[in-house]
Amino acid sequence: MAALIGVLAGDGIGPEVVREAVACLEVVGQQRGEPFRFETGLIGGAAIDATGSAFPPATADLCRRADAVLLGAVGGPKWSDPEAKVRPELGLLEMRAAMGVYANLRPVATHPALYAASPLRPERLEGVDILVVRELTGGIYFGRKERTADSATDVCTYTREEIERVLRMAGTLARQRRRKVASIDKANVLDTSRLWRSLATEIFRTEFPDVALEHVLVDAAAMHLLSRPRDFDVLVTENMFGDILTDEASMLTGSLGMLPSAALGAGRRGLYEPIHGSAPDIAGLDRANPCGTILSAAMLLRHSLGLAAEAERIERAVFTAIEGGHRTADIALPGQPPCGTAALGAAIRTALAA
Ligand code: NAD
């Protein structure tokens, strides 16, 4: 049977960018003579409005049945009341748990057509090709939380198992690349980081002796990402450090709107989404860059469906369209009028069909 792709558009610009990514997948399905099956589900604020839950049972069921899930983004001012019992972001956390995904792959590669959109000089950007592997299930985002009128606490916890499996994923992926891993921590201050560092040292010494490991403190890594980004190959880190460093790294590629991601676990099924949020400031204005979501669809083809050639065709089509001058406002060249979300999506499909 044709592969089933769960489609969760979410909130804000989510539906606009997901529409363009699904349309690209439809082109690929037609070209293969075996269209993919798509089934939509509710998540985030849209799901709260419709059902009271950010991750309703029907969506959980879809995520379990699907071969892969494509997600837009969740959240927005409408649901951001700090006193609210159910928040859209809870839907993401529940979905990741339900799908058993624990490693978030975030490729950051620069492209000459986008050098002008980055605040860094072109000579710093040339040849940058980084894969960030971010741990997704542990750390301070998931630890015990407490709040009184005068104090607040967020506990950062990691288990050996959580750390080891993501380090192994990074080592395995490094073998498909340049065999270099930078493990990012804050071992001079945090006990979770000291555990992380000792496990990284041990696992790479015993299981990945052919992969070069370096330990980098997170504050230094934030600097090196801008001063020597080309030196990094695979960068593996815990949940919050990875969240922050990838937003920073996105500026190497020109825009947050360009970056895709894949959340993977033990099997082939994965969750694919752009790294950006729901961008309420531009929602509904046909201004969102759909490339991060379309490139996430390419990752979906490669990792969950084993369609590497089709994935590459989508990736090439994205840059053919951009080189052809189809640029949303976030990556527009000075003095040139930007194009809209739908127009960039259409140009990418034209390149894909060519
Ligand atoms: P954001 O990523 O939504 O936006 C940050 C800035 O980048 C904004 O100026 C936005 O206009 C711009 N931007 C983002 N994506 C873009 C795109 N595709 N094209 C062009 N410009 C783009 O982050 P935020 O404003 O801090 O958060 C907005 C909401 O999104 C919040 O509710 C937050 O909780 C949520 N959020 C969700 C996810 C997710 O669903 N995975 C991730 C991050 C934030």
pLDDT one-digit tens code per residue, 45-80: 999 999 999 999 999 999 999 999 999 999 999 998
pLDDT confidence of residue 188: 98
Q: What is the mean pLDDT of residues 167-187?
A: 97
User: Ligand 1 centroid to 286 CA: how many Å?
Assistant: 15
Tell me the CA–centroid distance for residue 101 and ligand 1, in Å: 22
296 within ligand 1 shell (Cβ under 6 A): no
Euclidean distance between CA atoms 103 and 350, whole angstroms: 33
The runs of H, that is alpha helices, within 33-187 are 44-51, 57-65, 88-99, 122-125, 160-175
Q: Is the pLDDT of residue 323 over 90?
A: yes
HSE-up of residue 40 (Cα within 13 Å, Cβ side): 11
Burial call 141-170: b when 16+ CB within 10 Å, e when fewer: bbeeeeeeeeeeeeebebeeebbbbbbbbb
* pLDDT over threshold 90, residue 167: yes
Distance CA 101, CA 227 (A): 32
Domains of the chain: 1-104+254-354 (3.40.718.10), 119-251 (3.40.718.10)
Q: Which residue's CA is the nearest one to ligand 1's atom 42?
A: 277
Q: Which residues lie below 8 Å from residue 51, measured CB to CB, with a gap of 6+?
A: 42
85 is catalytic: no
Q: How far is the CA of 354 from the centre of ligand 1 (A)?
A: 32
Lowest mean pLDDT, pick from 25-39, 85-99, 286-300, 321-335: 85-99
Mean pLDDT, range 21-34, rounded to an integer: 97
pLDDT at 185 over 90: yes
Probe residue for ligand 1, chosen from 278, 330, 331 as the CB with the greatest number of ligand atoms within 8 Å:
278
Q: What is the per-residue pLDDT for 90?
A: 87
In this predicted model, what pLDDT tens digit does every residue of 125-161 receive, in sequence order?
A: 999 999 999 999 999 988 999 999 999 999 999 999 9
Residue range 202-223, pLDDT digits in tens: 999 999 999 999 999 999 999 9
Measured by CA distance, the residue closest to atom 6 of ligand 1 is 279
What is residue 93's predicted lDDT score, i.e. its pLDDT? 87
* Atom of ligand 1 lying closest to residue 288 CA: 19
Closest C-alpha among 293, 260, 269 to residue 69: 269
Identify whether 186 is a catalytic site residue.
yes
Q: For ligand 1, atom 25, which residue shows the shortest CA distance?
A: 279
**3-state secondary structure at position 90:** helix
| Ligand 1 centroid, distance to 179 Cα (angstroms) | 32
Choosing from 96, 276, 328, 341 the residue with most ligand 1 atoms within 8 A of its CB, the one to mutate for a pocket test is 276
Distance 29 CA to ligand 1 centre (A): 29
| Nearest alpha-carbon partner for 290 in 317, 324, 252, 251 | 317
Q: Residue 45 Cα, ligand 1 centroid: separation in angstroms?
A: 14
Is-catalytic flag, 243? yes
Instruction: Check residue 270 and give its pLDDT.
Output: 97
Verify whether ligand 1 is closer than 6 Å to residue 8 (CB atom). Answer: no
Q: What is the pTM of this model?
A: 0.93
Residues 6 and 105: their CA atoms lie apart, in Å, by 19
Q: What is the mean pLDDT of the chain?
A: 96
219 noted as active-site residue: yes
Q: What is the pLDDT of residues 234-288, one digit of tens each?
A: 999 999 999 999 889 988 998 999 999 999 999 999 999 999 999 999 999 999 9
Question: Shortest CA distance to 254 belongs to which of 286, 292, 281?
Answer: 292
Q: Which atom of ligand 1 is nearest to the CA of 89?
A: 34
Is the alpha carbon torsion for 117, 118, 124, 127 positive or negative?
Answer: negative
Nearest CA to ligand 1 atom 26: 277
| Ligand 1 pocket residue status of 75, Cβ below 6 Å | yes
Ligand 1 touching residue 104 (CB < 6 A): no
Alpha-carbon gap, residue 275 to 260, rounded angstroms: 6
**Number of other residues whose CB lies within 10 A of the CB of residue 175:** 12
For 191, counting Cβ atoms within 10 Å of its Cβ (0-12 exposed, 13-18 middle, 19+ buried), the class is exposed
